[in-house]
Amino acid sequence: MIIPLLRTCLTHHLICEMSMSAILILLFLLFAWAMMADRLARWSVTGPLAFALAGMALTRGDDPAVPIELDAHGFQLATEVVLAVLLFTDATESKDYDRSRSSGEWRLLTLALPASIALATLLGALLFPDQGWWLLLVVALVVMPIDLAPISAVLADSRIPLRVRAALNLEAGLNDGLISPVFLFCLANLASAPDASVGSLLWSTAKGAGLALLVGCFWGLAAARLAPLATAKGWTGPETLPFATLALPFLAYSSAVLIDGNGFVAAFVAGVCFAPAAHALGAGTVHLVRDTSHLMAFAVWFVLGALAADQFADGVSWSVLGYAVLVLTVARVLPVLLSLGRLDFSWAERAAIGWLGSRGVTSIVFGVLAATHLDESRGLFVIDVMCTTVLLSIVLHGATLHPVARWFERRTPVSG
């Protein structure tokens, strides 16, 4: 099973041994997808879906085309670094939209998101009565953060009102960074020894977040100050500055971890602090770190396919499938509709924001981290729910994006 294999990764160094033929297959897969990405998108086959399907197909069987042998301490570190870079990228890529009309992102983050997590936990209690509340809360924290990677085309689709795109982009850029310390606290409480007190875990989490906040502010503000200065004095330029930006999430993450801080929070805060300077310096400043994060994300989608192939070998239970449907619909849409009340949003715009909250890399990484910290039965449960929810999201949101856009185009044509 994959879960025991993941857990083994916590006690050794990471060694991914692949044959040259396996590497060739993966590189060809990347090349082929890049050559046909726009064409495939017309059939609702996005990059995440393509790589997840490839992971399912190429890692199955006793002699898979792409054998992934993990023998390693660093597997957990690798997944954490991937998420740290993605959190930094999300924070810097949250576009500076026109705020003359509120996009409602703060209501989504402070009202809809907590309500969605609470509702997902309650739904879990109804469908999985044998599971404990802490585990159900961890599962809710895994499956509720939104990630627009499966429907990234939404941000450039002018048929969809700008306010809808702004709300989704800003929420997706900030929600995972806000959830990560809560997730880590709940996971630590679930995985801790029976005699560990909630108070000590809460203090440890708060301390880690506080140290990370200081580290993230230091690196983000230092870069925000130094980058324009170095550019103005001619010390750097468009060709070399992106390398400094690429180094930032790694610097923030590793610095925080060295002093027992939360590396996720540090990378996220560094991105938030650096974002205004990055926008002022031009889009090219973050292109390299963005492209790197996308490449790392493809690897995560491939791993999702490998996990799903193993998990779904004996099918999916109706309770897990029902839970996935409910968290993608009721647990997401209802809180969004209510939280955006009294703002100048039409019901169609609210419904679109609620529905287009796709799930992605954050859920995958959180799910893998949970599985590596929990015992086998609970780890399998988290991975099962995560794989089902994310794969269902890829299919449903990818297939409905263009119909939603056409609906707005017919009824409320927009531009920009």
Nearest to 165 by CA among 403, 411, 410, 401: 401
Name the band, by pLDDT with cuts 50, 70 and 90, for residue 121.
very high
Structure tokens at 91: 């924070």
Whether residue 315 is contained in a domain is answered as: yes
pLDDT over 90 at 70, yes or no: no
Residue 166 identity: A
Question: Which ranges of 43-112 would DSSP assign to H, the alpha helix?
Answer: 47-58, 74-93, 105-107
Would you give the DSSP letter of residue 356?
T
So what's the pLDDT on residue 193? 56
Across 90-104, 190-204, 276-290, least confident range: 90-104
The CA distance from 180 to 177, in Å, is: 5
Q: How far apart are the first and last CA of the chain?
A: 49
Residue 15 in tokens: 């060694």
Mean pLDDT for the chain? Answer: 84
Q: Give the closest residue to 294 by CA, choosing from 89, 24, 66, 57.
A: 89
CB contact at 8 A, 302 and 55: yes
Q: Tell me which residue has tokens 């109804």.
A: 126
Quote the pLDDT of residue 45.
80
Residue 399 lies in a domain: yes
Q: What is the pLDDT of residue 135?
A: 95
DSSP class of 4: H
Backbone angles phi, psi at 97, to 5 degrees: -70, 160
Prediction pTM value: 0.85
In-domain check, residue 386 = yes
Burial of 98 (0-12, 13-18, 19+ CB in 10 A): exposed
CATH number reported for the structural domain that contains residue 159 in this entry: 1.20.1530.20
pLDDT score for 197: 66
Give the pair of three-digit tokens for residue 361. Answer: 């890399």
Joined together, the tokens standing for residue 321 give: 């499938």
Residue 90, SS3 per DSSP: helix
pLDDT at 327: 96
> Where are the alpha helices (H) located in 359-375, listed in sequence order?
361-373
CA dihedral angle for residue 346, residue 351, residue 352, residue 355, rounded to 10 degrees: 170
Give mean pLDDT, residues 225-254. Answer: 92
d(CA 260, CA 271): 20
Residue 10's pLDDT band, with cuts at 50, 70 and 90, is very low
Residue in the block written with tokens 């017309």: 42
Residues 301, 51: contact at Cβ < 8 Å?
Answer: yes
Q: Which helix (H) or strand (E) holds 137?
A: helix 133-143
Say which residue, 62 or 328, is predicted with more confidence: 328
244 against 67, higher pLDDT: 244
Using the predicted structure, report yes or no on whether residue 230 has a pLDDT greater than 90: yes
3, pLDDT greater than 70: no
pLDDT in tens, 90-104: 888 765 554 445 567
Q: Which two tokens stand for residue 194?
A: 């029976």
Rounded-to-integer distance, Cα 129 and Cα 152, Å: 36
Does residue 6 form part of some domain?
yes
Average of pLDDT values for 71-94? 75
Sign of the Cα pseudo-torsion (164, 170, 173, 178, in order): negative
SS3 content of the chain, % helix, strand, coil (to 5): 75, 0, 25
Give whole-number Cα distances, 243 to 88, 265, 268, 321, in Å: 14, 21, 18, 43
> What residue numbers bound the domain in which 14 lies?
2-411
Give the whole-number percent of the chain exceeding pLDDT 70.
87
Averaged pLDDT for residues 249-278: 90
Indicate the number of domains in the chain.
Answer: 1
In a domain, 416, yes or no: no
